[in-house]
Structure 1
Amino acid sequence: MQTLSDESRRFLEDLTLYLLASGKNEQATQDIVTELEDHLQEAEADGKSVAAITGDSPAAYIQSIASEMTTDYRESVWLLLQILAGVFSFLLFQDLLDGPLSYSLYFLVGFTVLISSLLIVLSRCLRYSATHTSSKRPILLFGLSTGVIFLLLMGLFLTDPQITSPTIHFSWLTSSIVGLSAFLLIGYSAYRAKTWVLPLGLLAYLLPQFFLRYQLNWSALSAVGVGYVCATVLMTALFFYETTSKKTNQT
């Protein structure tokens, strides 16, 4: 089978990124990308370029395809819940090391709103980068938004003890069930996504802490620092390994 040009591969990557970031169904997206890949191969075999399929504006063509597709709200909500669970899991399991869980309504709502806002900004930045060549705007926008949301998260942690709000207290049994349910959800999400970066990173974050705190009597702060470094190194290595493996399999 003929190998696609760099321009065609870039177009297909941008199309996939834009559609998924717009909440389109993953299988429907893959079907369209596969169909267009066949058309591009035929066009290039006849000596034509991407413009023969997309016209003068690949960005407009991508947006027109997205407008004709139905947004998969069910899949989008499921993805949002998976991401929230993944982000919250580090905090949840960290709290489990210190005792039964306890969260205020103020914290839970604030955390959900801020992380959801970050994901919305990320979605818009990804769509923008997929339809604009060599633009630094989405990187700057996402960096600025991430900084603001990070500061708001720190404010949420600091103000939580000062704000009077209904608080949910869990027993040890309930806390254990919540923790087990969260880990199973993370494992199931990793299985569906075919990536084990998050669950392995979570284990790399927690296991050193457990050993250092309860076997060597380290302070909680020192143990958290070691766990953070272990998780960061492992997750970064796994991410690059999986990315490289996917590119190798595609060639």
Structure 2
Amino acid sequence: MQTLSSASVRFLADLKLYLLASGKNEQATQDIVTELENHLQEAEADGKSTDAITGASPADYMKSIASEMTTDYRESFAILLQIFTGVFCYLLFQDLLDGPLAYSLYFLIGFIVLISLFLIALSQLFRYSATHADSKRRFVWFGLYGSLTFLLLIGLFFTDPLVPSPMIHFSWWSSWLIGLFAFLFTVYTAYRAKTWILPLGLLAYLLPQVVIRFGFDGSPLLAVLVGYLFATSTMTGLFFYETNFKKSQHTEG
């Protein structure tokens, strides 16, 4: 089998990312990527470049393919649920470090709204990443986006005590059962999706906090900041690894 050029491999990875971020069915996306891979192999065997298939603008080519495909709302909802549960794990285990879970209605509603906006914007960011080749700019955008989301969540934490709202309390047992279920669900969805960004990012967020708070008796604020830096670095690195370097395994296979 002909080995694809780095440009073609990159295009196929970006196309898959763009279509999935646009809510297209995973199997239909894979079928299109496989078909295009065959076309690219034939084109390169004849001495042609990736542009012979995609045209002068790969981004426009991706958009045209996406416009011809049906959006899979059921699968999109399942993916959003997976991401939402993964993000919610950060909140759960952060709070479990301080005791049984207890949330105000204001906080729960605000958290749901913020994460919903986060997921909508993340989809747009993935599509931007797939259609722009500048890796440094993509890295900056992901860093800024993650920082903004973190600041908004911090704002929600600070305003929570100032807004009167009914409280929902959980016992120790129910708190840990909720946390265990959420983490297992995150691991399960990571296994199904073949990406370990969320669970590994969660561990990178929590382990430094446990060491700082309970090993060195450090302040909770310092622990959160260090955990955030570790998690952001880990998740950003894993994202670029899976989208830019893992594709080499595909071409070698």
Structure 1 counterpart of 2:164, one-letter code: T
CA distance in 2, matches of 1:200, 1:172: 25
* Secondary structure of the structure 2 residue equivalent to 1:103: strand
User: For 1:64-213, what aligned pairs fall within 5 Å after superposition?
Assistant: 64-132=64-132, 134=134, 146=146, 148-207=148-207, 209-210=209-210, 213=213
Q: Which runs of 5+ in 2 are unaligned?
A: none
> In the TM superposition, what is the alpha-carbon distance from 1:235 to its structure 2 partner?
5.8
Which structure carries more relative contact order (alpha carbon 8 Å, separation 6+)? 2
Question: Does the CA contact (< 8 Å) of 1:17 and 1:126 recur in 2?
Answer: yes
Q: Which runs of 5+ in 1 are unaligned?
A: none
Question: Does the CA contact (< 8 Å) of 1:126 and 1:138 recur in 2?
Answer: no
Structure 2 counterpart of 1:185, one-letter code: F
Q: Which stretch shows the higher mean deviation, 129-138 or 117-126?
A: 129-138
Partner of 1:58: 58
> In the TM superposition, what is the alpha-carbon distance from 1:218 to its structure 2 partner?
5.2
Question: Does the CA contact (< 8 Å) of 1:15 and 1:62 recur in 2?
Answer: yes
Q: Which stretch shows the higher mean deviation, 160-169 or 225-234?
A: 225-234
CA distance in 2, matches of 1:147, 1:203: 19
Structure 2 counterpart of 1:166, one-letter code: P
Partner of 1:38: 38
Deviation digits for residues 173-217 of structure 1 (CA, Å, limit 9, x no counterpart) = 221221111111111122113344433443454456556655765
Question: Does the CA contact (< 8 Å) of 1:121 and 1:142 recur in 2?
Answer: no
Structure 2 counterpart of 1:82, one-letter code: Q
Deviation digits for residues 43-73 of structure 1 (CA, Å, limit 9, x no counterpart) = 2222333343334443333222111212121
How many residue pairs are counted as aligned between the two chains? 251
> In the TM superposition, what is the alpha-carbon distance from 1:162 to its structure 2 partner?
0.9
What is the CA RMSD across the aligned residues, in angstroms? 3.4
> In the TM superposition, what is the alpha-carbon distance from 1:92 to its structure 2 partner?
0.9
* Aligned CA distance change for structure 1 residues 38 and 215 (closer, same or farther; 3 Å): closer
* Secondary structure of the structure 2 residue equivalent to 1:168: strand
Structure 1 counterpart of 2:157, one-letter code: F
* Aligned CA distance change for structure 1 residues 234 and 127 (closer, same or farther; 3 Å): closer
> In the TM superposition, what is the alpha-carbon distance from 1:32 to its structure 2 partner?
0.8
* Secondary structure of the structure 2 residue equivalent to 1:23: coil
- Of structures 1 and 2, the larger Rg is shown by 1
* Secondary structure of the structure 1 residue equivalent to 2:4: coil
Partner of 1:26: 26
CA distance in 2, matches of 1:128, 1:229: 24
* Secondary structure of the structure 2 residue equivalent to 1:186: helix
CA distance in 1, matches of 2:40, 2:85: 39
* Aligned CA distance change for structure 1 residues 92 and 65 (closer, same or farther; 3 Å): same
Question: Does the CA contact (< 8 Å) of 2:23 and 2:72 recur in 1?
Answer: yes
* Secondary structure of the structure 2 residue equivalent to 1:47: coil
Structure 2 counterpart of 1:40, one-letter code: L
Question: Does the CA contact (< 8 Å) of 1:118 and 1:146 recur in 2?
Answer: no
> In the TM superposition, what is the alpha-carbon distance from 1:124 to its structure 2 partner?
1.6
CA distance in 2, matches of 1:176, 1:209: 18
CA distance in 2, matches of 1:169, 1:125: 36
Is 1:2 equivalent to 2:2 in the alignment? yes
User: For 1:213-228, what aligned pairs fall within 5 Å after superposition?
Assistant: 213=213, 219-221=219-221, 224=224
Deviation digits for residues 127-178 of structure 1 (CA, Å, limit 9, x no counterpart) = 2343355599877766665555444322211111111122211122221221
